[in-house]
Chain A
Amino acid sequence: MNRVGIIGYGISKFGKRTDASMYDLIWEAGSEAIRSSGVDKKDIDYMVVSNMGMWSSEELPAVVAGEVLGIKNAGLHRVEAACASGSSAIASAYDAIRSERSKIAIAVGIEKMNEVESETAIELIGRAGNFLWEYEFFGLTFPGYYALYATAYLNRYSGKEEDLALVSVKNHHYAHLNPIAHFGNEITVEDVMKSRYIASPLKLYDSSPITDGSAAVIMASEDIAKQYTDTPIWIDSIGSNLGTANLSKRNDFVHIEAAREAASKAYRMAKIDAEKPYRFIDGADVHDCFSIAEVLAYEDLGFAERGRGLDMLRNGETYIGGKIPVNVDGGLISKGHPIGATGVAMAVEASKQLLRKAEPGRQIDVKNGRFLTHNVGGTGHYAYVTVYSI
């Protein structure tokens, strides 16, 4: 079988990068990915760029990325799957290589969100979902969508806002060990509880920030990959699924069906027991755009039984040394969530962890040699679950 492997990666510093343009960010991540892979950029024959756009001035970021990186003889397109755009870029490059349309591909994720002021960014991302029936008259925001899940979840399972705060405390802890993270400070439950409401019951510290950043990976077919490295990071499986545009068309607000289905497909392809997936993987990056989203992820991925996600947090089971370490890069909440770059950044993190190159204090124990990423677009509008291995 013609496997597909990651042979190089790069990532920019995440944050409110008033010092760097979209071009600079693409260069930071893309040039590092190419350099670390050892490939000559002339041999890259396929390029895919994930970007949501809207808040940044360049309308065609994919062509910008090609020009910035000096890539000339590659097929090119841009992909959008909202916050899961990055994983869709990985999927697109994977498909191109598996179908033998490409031998060496580059996937670049880029988002420059701070070219507009926060209120406009809130406006633009709030429109992502169903504009006519959920935004035009009701002004739902992105935190608002997830807050609807949080209210329903806490009510159904008798959870407290203090429980959700534990997500942010854990992820800030690991972010402060990750030099590229947006935030570098540790926080307490009290800090989270004292922060202002954004969309009740979610508060500022329950939320991912508005982040600029870029990430890139070089991917190649198995025969080519082995010419460049003895340790490619293989993509074992990609499961993806869609969700309804209207949130109101979902049956309940205590799980994300698209993510559950994506996980089921990914586990089937990778021959992972969906009942106890944590026995087959060493760690995971999950889509914690808001604290509640990480809790839903535990359950949708089968790390916890339904309604028991908060217990994992209360028991510290998702710290390193626990049942399964989750978001030890700081997650979206603290590492930052540059929308189109996030899924590619997760691939970078999977690679670093499996190669045991994570910074001190946040390296997981690699036993099974597998790492999972869970990337949700919008509010369960798109979902990608990807299994990486070494």
Chain B
Amino acid sequence: MPGYIVKDEKTKNPVLLDLRELDIKYRIPVSRIEKFYQALDQGIIMGTKCPVCGARFFPPQAWCSDCGYSGEMEFYPLDTHGHLMTFTKIFAKPKSFSSFGDYTVGIAHLDKEDLNILAWIDESIQKPEVGMETVIKVEKRKEDGATVYFIASP
């Protein structure tokens, strides 16, 4: 039998073990929301506002899905005070997060903006509860050094 034909561990059925391997890393253009990342680096979370109809967006976007305006959107710092809508602790992790410990993801409602944000819940919240008061904080994540925003205790 050629070497690439192997037995499945459980069933012992023969399977062809692919000799080709694919490693994908996407390059995602962000030029129209570059201001968001510049502000994030300063610890500020920006949303966008439509200068025509006033619609607010998070995640930030460079056009207005509500009224159809496609000119310059206004980037503005979000008032991040709000409350926790829901949360979950992820135990079965995806391959690219397998080196992380179990992490808790939540969705917070920003009360003054009437927008929601999905993010990890940081260590300032040991026991998350639906309805608890929250803010959004920017931190350098220790696991991968990435600058990211977290749902945190005020």
Contacts and interface: CB of A to CB of B under 8 A. Distances in A.
Interface of A: 16, 18-19, 57, 119-120, 122-123, 126, 130, 132-134, 137-141, 143-144, 147-152, 155-156, 196-202, 246-250, 252-253
A119 B11 contact: no
Given A150-B88, A248-B117, 12 more contacts: A19-B13, A122-B93, A132-B59, A139-B90, A140-B105, A148-B86, A148-B107, A149-B86, A155-B131, A156-B130, A202-B88, A250-B116
Contact of A248 (B8, B88, B100, B107): B107
B148 A148 contact: no
Contacts of A122: 92-95
Closest 9 CB pairs of A and B: A147-B88, A123-B94, A139-B97, A152-B86, A119-B95, A248-B116, A155-B130, A248-B118, A18-B13
Contact of A141 (B86, B90, B100, B107): B90
Task: Name which of B96, B106, B130 has the most chain A CB atoms within 10 A of its CB.
Answer: B96
A18 B130 contact: no
B1 interface: no
Contact of B93 (A19, A141, A150, A200): A141
A141 B118 contact: no
A32 to B, nearest CB: 22
Nearest to A252: B85
B89 interface: yes
Interface string B127-139: 0001100000000
A249 B100 CA distance: 27
Contacts of A151: 86-88, 130
A119 B100 CA distance: 13
B89 A199 contact: yes
Contacts of B59: 130, 132-133, 246
Contact of A138 (B18, B86, B95, B105): B105
Contacts of B86: 148-149, 151-152, 155, 253
Contacts of B100: 139
B120 A138 contact: yes
Given A152-B85, A199-B92, A138 B11 contact: no
Nearest to B97: A139
Interface string B5-36: 00010110101001000000000100000000
6 contacts: A57-B18, A134-B118, A144-B90, A150-B88, A151-B130, A253-B107
B98 interface: yes
